[in-house]
């Protein structure tokens, strides 16, 4: 864990803003420079940015309308062409363009991945801070809940809950967000425990700073990097969970365009139309791979002590 | 050591208790569990009768106590669909899930250990690179998709492996590979880094300097010590394995607990879902308890008193 | 080097563990026994036959139980099962002469008393799904041990069709009373050619030929229903030789399976039809409890007709994969005579009229030019008998084409049948599979039913339906049917889309299989190829 080491207790009292202000672009510059030195990190970053661009630009760059069906061109193999153009990755059971549907499907993955990780992250960090900082009963209760939740394999828990509460994009995001916080809470709590007893925290106490302020100003900045590292990893896990749920018919509505549902459709025709299952899976793999690479790189950069660990 | 195990036992019991709470309240996420369970055709009177019969008209606290009392004896109520005790259905399928988990875990270990060790020993070689690629892709790939790809190759095109069910022994091969590869990807990373860490330790250098050959250093000193983090991660990844089995079982129609869970969720057969969920959690908790106890034997240097 | 040795040892270990573990599992195939495995798509409910109306369960019960008489496999009339012969002795009475020495598989005697007990059971138990269809029976009279009379309430033209309908299975009364219904559903006993020897809930049902069958031991020793819900898994299982017959072949796989050595592709009607089921009430009925304040646009007859005219049935049939477009709820296996009389392709094609649909909507008060067409929910299962999701998507597009705003809701099949079809929780339109038994169809549109479920009643239509089921003379009945169908299409309470074909593939190297005309997958007559 990297801990910003304040030189003296005197500095602590006037911590925020007392450091010399760097130009705004400096952190960005440093970030990009660091990224440039790591091929893996750079690959991950490019993949993530690429997928996000796909999600945003979708309609503008997709060769066909992802919903446009063409019954004369059902189950056409990759490279098929007719009057309406080329179907690079083939067509599905209604003659819709697989490539366009993969592009359109990126939106759900990106939204679900980012939003539910954000929800999970915020809840997890807050609970982790509270548990670690206050200890005692609060800590015990939160940690026992995480024990319980962690002992049910994540995907099974999510499947069961969505079976009870039903499907839908918003529901899915909430389910993934509200069950995913556990890992953050665990890790953040551990980090807080390490930081809490350090000199400058004790000093902050000594000069009479209020506890919420101490948490926000001194503890949070020291533990947040763990949260960020975790979040990057969790994005991949969440996207996998979303596609699994959609594949099982428990995720989003059955007519939404998502990679998981494309796989579920393709599975019906797997004996002849291999392209219907192959390409959406590749899309998921590449996206998750991007998140994994980027997460690994972030860990290396933000957390020198954990370098090399998985 | 006894004290350590005792403490772990207490924590395990608390965790099981927490899981029972989660399982109990999960069904009530939408408020009245009857809303989830009762067929829509039921009249208000029938729903009311069902509510009394299942005890949902009592205070929640009381309901939980009853739930717990019954759960301890393995009674989760009747399956609404099959009209048999939910636990009976779960136990019928449990063996198949354990069998699949066992073969996949073994396959995972058999691939991951040598791969991790070799890439640690030959750091930055091509084999290290390949194993890193394998680990990353294996982690990023959805398990069920790998399963589908295997079906395309081995069942559809080559026609050498059954794609479905448990009708013949060979049917276990593809689900095992699907789960085993995911497991191996996750384990080989940790094996590599654990080995790297250990190889840099003083005692390894000492061992070398004492003139021991490479083989005995690796096997007797390095691997032995690296096993501790490997076993921990292995225990944790079994949770991933159990979760993955739910989806892989439905890809290959493997008649295990996971497929039963999905079927039951689809028809809102809540008692079976509860029983299944608890079994999954219980299996996972006990595995990790076993892992913790295993520690003591793996690492005699650690004092637990 | 150590690692190599390690690798070798662990590989050997894995093989040992795998083989020990696997050898514990029983091998299913035995050489001397001919075994036929059918890939059964749906769930299997209880084996106590009358309780369920779930068609595909009766495919199994038909192996286990005999009925009095049964529909001939080739669609021509009926064949005797427990009854050797039967006759209509007056307007209301049908006499059945049972075969001599019939017993159930447990030794219990199957006589006239047993027959009476069974028919009385299904027509008096209101909790049975089949209860309503057995109300045509007024009484069952035991003449002697081998002769039994069934007396109908009115002259009844569909007697043979209905006496061999679901619920006709003869169960052993003593045994059933001794063990109770719940236990019986688990270990049923019948008098049919096969015994149920083993089953795993919703997974595998094994039937074994019974030597004591009156017709002699069947040719195939074991018939297995293996539940495989996924179409693709069915195809793979057939290719791998794990099953011998699959009921539906997905469109892109047809060519390939047909060209595979040892496999054959056969197409036969399924006698199942896809319909759009419209909601036409707001006051009463099951769906009202779920959507009490919802005002469906389909209340307006013009809107319903607009839906019916907006659908290009031949295109929908093409999307489904293999189906024949229809306007009327009439299947190929139809006791009322040749199907061609009811399914004139030109009439079906003419009915498709988007312009008419638009003007009907405008007449109903919707300002289509302002884009203010009626909003309708269309509920459909992902997959039931093939193509449901795709058909729903295309149908939705057709409706939008004429100005509807369609909210398409495609659900998991099991959840769909649980919540939508059996619950009747239909907001506006649901895509559903319906049969077409002529004796039953009028009853679905009778006031008693429609009043309770839809709060509507068309007395004239009702009267015609009532007459149909009592008119024995075929010509007179046909004239009544013509009037009845007028109401059916113009009232558009249910909209018929097409009749679905079963496109099957089977192991023709080992078996001789001729599909039944009634679309049932039951295998009493299966032959082994010599």
| pLDDT recorded at residue A302 | 78
The ipTM of this complex is: 0.88
List, in order, residues 6 or more apart from A219 with CB less than 8 Å away.
A129, A132, A133, A192, A195, A196, A201
SS3 per-residue string spanning C415-476: HHHHHHHCCCCCCCEEEEEECCCCCCHHHHCCHHHHHHHHCCCCHHHHHHHHHHCCCCCHHH
C-alpha pair distances (Å), B83 with each of B33, B88, C181, C183, C413? 18, 11, 12, 11, 21
| pLDDT recorded at residue A3 | 42
C-alpha pair distances (Å), A153 with each of A256, B229, B294? 27, 20, 22
- Cα–Cα distance between C311 and C331 in angstroms, integer? 19
Percentage of chain C modeled with pLDDT above 70: 86
User: Is residue A5 a part of any domain in this protein?
Assistant: no
pLDDT greater than 50 at residue A309:
no
Chains with at least 3 CB pairs less than 8 angstroms from chain A: B, C
Domain with A278 in it: what CATH number?
Answer: 1.10.3720.10
Chains with at least 3 CB pairs less than 8 angstroms from chain C: A, B
- Cα–Cα distance between C117 and A206 in angstroms, integer? 91
Selection from C147, C59, C102 nearest residue C519 by Cα = C59
Q: pLDDT tens, C207-254?
A: 999 999 999 999 999 999 998 878 888 888 898 888 999 998 988 899
Q: Is B71 within 8 Å of C190 (Cβ atoms)?
A: no
Q: Is C195 within 8 Å of C210 (Cβ atoms)?
A: yes
Report chain B's mean pLDDT, rounded to a whole number.
85
Percentage of chain B modeled with pLDDT above 90: 32
Nearest to C393 among A249, A255, A268 (CB): A255
Q: Which residues of A touch C382 (CB under 8 A)?
A: 249, 254
| pLDDT recorded at residue C5 | 64
3-state SS assignment for residue A29: helix
Q: Which fold has domain C270-502?
A: Dipeptide-binding Protein; domain 3 (3.10.105)
Listed by start position, the domains of chain C span 36-226+510-528, 270-502
| pLDDT recorded at residue A22 | 61
User: Is residue A28 a part of any domain in this protein?
Assistant: no
Domain with B236 in it: what CATH number?
Answer: 1.10.3720.10
| pLDDT recorded at residue C3 | 54
Report chain A's mean pLDDT, rounded to a whole number.
85
Which of the pair, B59 or C45, is modelled with greater confidence?
B59
| pLDDT recorded at residue C26 | 45
pLDDT greater than 80 at residue C11:
no
Q: pLDDT tens, B275-298?
A: 999 999 999 999 888 888 887 777
| pLDDT recorded at residue C495 | 95
pLDDT greater than 60 at residue C30:
no
At residue B30 the predicted structure's pLDDT band, cuts being 50, 70 and 90, is confident
C-alpha pair distances (Å), C236 with each of A152, A262, B155, C39, C253? 33, 20, 7, 11, 10
Token pair listed for B150: 């295997």
At residue A308 the predicted structure's pLDDT band, cuts being 50, 70 and 90, is very low
3-state SS assignment for residue C78: strand
3-state SS assignment for residue A92: coil
Which of the pair, C438 or C101, is modelled with greater confidence?
C101
C-alpha pair distances (Å), C115 with each of C83, C97, C142, C192? 10, 11, 9, 14
Contact: C252, A75; criterion CB under 8 Å? yes
Distance from CA of C368 to the nearest CA of B (A): 36
- Cα–Cα distance between C141 and C122 in angstroms, integer? 15
Q: Which residues of C touch B39 (CB under 8 A)?
A: 418, 422-423
For A75, which residue in chain C has the nearest alpha carbon?
A: C252
3-state SS assignment for residue B115: helix
Selection from C66, C400, C87 nearest residue C213 by Cα = C66
User: Is residue B88 a part of any domain in this protein?
Assistant: no
Contact: C3, B117; criterion CB under 8 Å? yes
Q: pLDDT tens, B95-128?
A: 999 999 999 999 999 999 999 999 988 888 999 9
Contact of C441 with chain A, judged by CB distance below 8 Å, is answered with no
Contact: C415, B253; criterion CB under 8 Å? no
Contact of A206 with chain C, judged by CB distance below 8 Å, is answered with no
Q: Which domain holds residue A47?
A: 39-307
- Cα–Cα distance between A257 and C64 in angstroms, integer? 45
3-state SS assignment for residue C140: strand
Q: pLDDT tens, A123-144?
A: 999 999 999 988 889 999 999 9
Selection from C292, C303, C332, C313 nearest residue C435 by Cα = C332
Q: pLDDT tens, C357-411?
A: 999 999 999 999 888 899 999 999 888 888 899 999 999 999 999 999 998 888 8
**Domains: count for chain A:** 1
**CATH number of this structure's domain C36-226+510-528:** 3.40.190.10
User: Is residue A162 a part of any domain in this protein?
Assistant: yes
pLDDT greater than 60 at residue B131:
yes
Contact: C383, A268; criterion CB under 8 Å? yes
- Cα–Cα distance between C355 and C361 in angstroms, integer? 10
3-state SS assignment for residue B106: helix
- Cα–Cα distance between B107 and B172 in angstroms, integer? 12
- Cα–Cα distance between A206 and A143 in angstroms, integer? 29
- Cα–Cα distance between A244 and A265 in angstroms, integer? 13
Q: Which domain holds residue B115?
A: 96-269
- Cα–Cα distance between B125 and A279 in angstroms, integer? 31
| pLDDT recorded at residue B6 | 86
C270-502 shares the fold of C36-226+510-528: no
Token pair listed for B26: 């999960």
- Cα–Cα distance between A305 and A2 in angstroms, integer? 7
**Domains: count for chain B:** 1
**Average pLDDT, integer, range A243-270:** 89
Q: Is C53 within 8 Å of C125 (Cβ atoms)?
A: no
List the Cα angle C453/C454/C458 in 5-degree steps: 115
User: Is residue B225 a part of any domain in this protein?
Assistant: yes
Q: What's this model's pTM, rounded to 2 decimal places?
A: 0.84
Q: Is A192 within 8 Å of A127 (Cβ atoms)?
A: no
User: Is residue B20 a part of any domain in this protein?
Assistant: no
Report chain C's mean pLDDT, rounded to a whole number.
86
Q: Please say whether the dihedral angle defined by the alpha carbons of residues C90, C93, C95 and C96, taken in this order, is positive or negative.
A: positive
| pLDDT recorded at residue B222 | 80
Query: Which residues share a beta bridge with C88?
Result: C94
**What are φ and ψ of residue C137, in 5° steps?**
-85, 130
């Amino acid at each position: 864990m990297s801990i910003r080491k304040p030189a003296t207790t005197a500095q602590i009292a006037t911590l925020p803003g007392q450091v010399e202000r760097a130009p705004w672009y400096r952190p960005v510059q440093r970030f990009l420079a660091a990224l440039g030195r790591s091929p893996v990190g750079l690959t991950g970053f490019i993949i993530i940015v690429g997928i996000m661009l796909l999600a945003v630009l979708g309609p503008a760059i997709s060769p066909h309308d992802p919903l446009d069906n063409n019954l004369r061109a059902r189950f056409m193999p990759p490279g098929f062409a007719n009057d309406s153009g080329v179907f690079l990755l083939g067509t599905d059971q209604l003659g819709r363009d697989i490539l366009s549907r993969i592009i359109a499907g990126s939106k759900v993955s990106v939204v679900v991945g980012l939003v539910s990780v954000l929800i999970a992250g915020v809840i997890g960090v807050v609970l982790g801070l509270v548990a670690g900082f206050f200890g005692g009963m609060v800590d015990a209760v939160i940690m026992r809940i995480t024990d319980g939740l962690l002992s049910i394999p994540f995907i099974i828990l999510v499947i069961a809950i969505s079976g009870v509460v039903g499907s839908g994009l918003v529901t899915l995001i909430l389910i993934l967000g509200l069950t995913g916080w556990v890992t953050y809470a665990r890790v953040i709590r551990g980090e807080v425990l390490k930081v809490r007893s350090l000199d400058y925290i004790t000093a902050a106490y000594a000069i009479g700073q209020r506890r919420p302020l101490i948490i926000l100003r001194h503890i949070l900045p020291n533990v947040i990097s763990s949260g960020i590292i975790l979040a990057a990893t969790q994005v991949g896990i969440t996207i996998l969970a979303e596609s699994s749920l959609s594949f099982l018919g428990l995720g989003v509505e059955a007519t939404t365009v998502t990679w998981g549902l494309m796989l579920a459709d393709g599975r019906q025709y797997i004996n002849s139309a291999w392209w219907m299952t192959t390409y959406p899976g590749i899309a998921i793999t590449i996206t998750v791979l991007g998140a994994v690479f980027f997460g690994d790189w972030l860990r290396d950069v933000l957390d020198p002590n954990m370098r090399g660990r998985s | 050591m006894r004290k350590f195990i005792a403490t772990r036992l207490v924590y395990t019991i608390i965790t099981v208790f927490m899981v029972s709470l989660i399982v109990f309240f999960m069904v009530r996420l939408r408020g009245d569990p009857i809303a989830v369970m009762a067929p829509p055709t039921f009249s208000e009177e029938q729903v009311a009768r069902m509510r009394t019969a299942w005890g949902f008209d009592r205070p929640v606290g009381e309901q939980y106590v009853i739930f717990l009392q019954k759960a301890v004896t393995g009674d989760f109520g009747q399956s609404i669909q099959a009209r048999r005790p939910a636990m009976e259905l779960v136990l019928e399928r449990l063996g198949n899930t354990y069998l699949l988990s066992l073969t996949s875990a073994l396959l995972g270990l058999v691939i991951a250990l040598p791969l991790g060790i070799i890439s640690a020993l030959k750091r930055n070689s091509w084999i290290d690179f390949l194993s890193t690629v394998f680990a990353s892709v294996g982690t990023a790939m959805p398990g069920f998709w790998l399963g589908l790809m295997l079906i395309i190759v081995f069942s559809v095109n080559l026609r050498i492996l059954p794609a479905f069910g448990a009708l013949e022994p060979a049917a276990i091969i593809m689900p095992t590979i699907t789960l085993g590869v995911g497991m191996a990807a996750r384990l080989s990373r940790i094996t590599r880094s654990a080995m790297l860490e250990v190889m840099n330790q003083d005692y390894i250098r000492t061992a070398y300097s004492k003139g021991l050959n490479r083989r005995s250093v690796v096997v007797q000193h390095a691997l032995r010590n690296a096993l501790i983090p490997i076993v921990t991660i292995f225990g944790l990844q079994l949770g991933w394995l159990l979760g993955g089995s739910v989806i892989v079982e439905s890809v290959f129609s493997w008649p295990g607990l996971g497929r039963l869970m999905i079927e039951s969720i689809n028809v809102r057969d809540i008692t079976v879902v509860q029983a299944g969920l608890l079994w999954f959690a219980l299996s996972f908790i006990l595995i990790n308890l076993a892992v913790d106890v295993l520690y003591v034997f793996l690492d005699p240097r650690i004092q637990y008193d | 080097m150590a690692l190599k040795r390690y690798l070798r040892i662990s590989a050997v270990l894995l093989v040992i563990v795998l083989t020990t573990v696997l050898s514990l599992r029983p091998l299913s195939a035995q050489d001397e026994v001919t075994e036929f495995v059918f890939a059964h798509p749906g769930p299997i409910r209880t084996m106590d036959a009358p309780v369920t109306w779930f068609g595909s369960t009766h495919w199994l019960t038909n192996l286990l139980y005999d009925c009095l008489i049964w529909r001939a496999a080739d669609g021509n009339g009926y064949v005797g099962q427990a009854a050797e012969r039967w006759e209509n002795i007056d307007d209301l009475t049908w006499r059945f002469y049972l075969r001599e020495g019939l017993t159930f598989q447990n030794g219990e005697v199957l006589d006239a008393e047993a027959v009476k007990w069974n028919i009385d059971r299904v027509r008096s138990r209101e909790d049975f799904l089949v209860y309503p269809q057995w109300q045509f029976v007024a009484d069952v009279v035991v003449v002697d041990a081998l002769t039994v009379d069934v007396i109908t309430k009115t002259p009844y033209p569909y007697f043979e069709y209905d006496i061999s309908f679901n619920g006709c299975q003869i169960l052993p009364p003593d045994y059933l009373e001794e063990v109770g219904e719940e236990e019986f559903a688990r270990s049923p006993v019948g008098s049919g050619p096969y015994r149920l020897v083993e089953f795993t809930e919703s997974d595998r049902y094994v039937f074994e030929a019974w030597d004591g069958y009156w017709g002699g031991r069947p040719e195939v020793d074991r018939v297995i229903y293996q539940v495989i819900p996924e179409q693709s898994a069915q195809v793979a299982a057939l290719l791998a030789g794990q099953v011998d017959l699959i009921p539906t072949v997905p469109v892109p796989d047809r060519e390939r399976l047909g060209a595979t050595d040892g496999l054959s592709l056969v197409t036969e009607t399924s006698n199942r039809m896809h319909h759009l089921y419209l909601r036409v009430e707001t006051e009463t009925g099951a769906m009202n409890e779920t959507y009490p304040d919802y005002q469906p646009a389909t209340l307006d007859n013009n809107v319903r007709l607009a839906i019916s005219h907006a659908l290009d049935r031949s295109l929908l049939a093409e999307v489904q994969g293999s189906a024949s477009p229809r306007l009327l709820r009439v299947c190929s296996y139809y006791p009322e005579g040749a199907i061609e009389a009811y399914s004139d392709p030109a009439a079906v094609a003419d009915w498709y009229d988007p312009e008419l649909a638009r003007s009907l909507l405008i007449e109903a008060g919707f300002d289509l030019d302002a884009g203010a067409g009626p909003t309708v929910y269309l509920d459909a299962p992902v997959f039931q008998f093939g193509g449901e999701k795709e058909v729903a998507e295309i149908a939705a597009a057709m409706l939008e084409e004429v100005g509807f705003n369609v909210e398409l809701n495609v659900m998991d099949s099991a959840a769909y049948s649980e919540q939508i079809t059996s619950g009747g929780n239909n907001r506006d339109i649901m895509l559903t599979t319906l049969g077409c038994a002529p004796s039953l169809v009028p009853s679905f549109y009778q006031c008693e039913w429609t009043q309770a479920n839809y709060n509507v009643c068309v007395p004239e239509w009702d009267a015609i339906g009532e007459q149909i089921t009592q008119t024995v003379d075929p010509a007179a009945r046909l004239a009544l049917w013509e009037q009845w169908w007028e109401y059916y299409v113009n009232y558009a309470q249910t909209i018929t889309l097409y009749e679905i074909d079963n496109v099957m593939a089977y192991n023709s190297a080992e078996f001789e299989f001729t599909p039944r005309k009634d679309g049932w997958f039951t295998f009493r007559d299966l032959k082994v190829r010599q």
